[in-house]
């Protein structure tokens, strides 16, 4: 299981996706009173010296972000079912693309309602890296499946 390259790709996708759950992804800074807001998968928080307060939840973003590492970790352990692995990775890639879409919808919506400037953290690039790693894992699994089928023809 661990000797295949796709396992390392999928493990990296899992680690990057868990990091999305922990760290903030983007932020907003109000133009008028320089109030700073932070967007994480849990929602939009207003940062202040007294403490952070939740302004709006982002439960759809949370659900997608929780589902991605679960699916990629599950895919690692389905190493005997290669076609199922490819299907689950395809679903994960679609979820990652949906994550980006929702992230920018939330940023645009919150930025417009708060009259704030948006900025994106470095961690926002992790879903793109995960998409690339998912495609590489699908290709490696496809090569393994082709190898197994060719060996079955020889027998």
- Is the predicted pLDDT of residue 1 greater than 70, yes or no? no
pTM for this entry: 0.86
pLDDT given for residue 128 in this prediction: 94
pLDDT given for residue 9 in this prediction: 93
Structural domains for the chain? 5-149 (1.20.140.150)
Tens of pLDDT along 41-93? 888 888 777 777 777 878 888 899 999 999 999 999 988 888 999 999 999 99
143-148 LR contacts (CB < 8 Å, sep 24+): 144/4, 144/6, 144/82, 145/82, 145/83, 145/86, 148/82
Number of other CB atoms surrounding residue 120 within 10 Å: 14
Contact between residue 39 and residue 116 where contact means Cβ atoms under 8 Å apart: no
Distance CA(73)–CA(155), nearest Å, equals 34
Confidence label for 155 from pLDDT (cuts 50, 70 and 90): low
pLDDT given for residue 69 in this prediction: 94
Tens of pLDDT along 89-147? 999 999 999 998 998 888 888 888 888 888 888 998 999 999 999 999 999 988 888 88
């Amino acid at each position: 299981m661990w000797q295949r390259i796709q396992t390392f790709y999928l493990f990296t996708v899992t680690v990057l996706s868990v990091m999305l759950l922990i760290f903030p992804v983007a932020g907003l800074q109000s133009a008028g009173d320089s109030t700073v807001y932070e967007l994480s998968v849990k929602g939009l928080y207003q940062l202040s010296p007294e403490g952070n307060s939740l302004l709006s939840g982002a439960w759809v973003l949370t659900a997608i972000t929780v589902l991605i590492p679960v699916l990629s970790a599950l895919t690692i352990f389905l190493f005997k079912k290669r076609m199922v692995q490819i299907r689950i990775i395809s679903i994960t890639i679609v979820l990652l693309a949906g994550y980006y879409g929702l992230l920018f919808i939330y940023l645009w919506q919150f930025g417009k309602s708060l009259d704030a400037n948006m900025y994106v953290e470095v961690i926002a690039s992790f879903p793109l890296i995960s998409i690339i790693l998912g495609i590489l894992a699908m290709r490696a699994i496809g090569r393994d499946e082709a190898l197994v089928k060719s060996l079955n023809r020889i027998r």
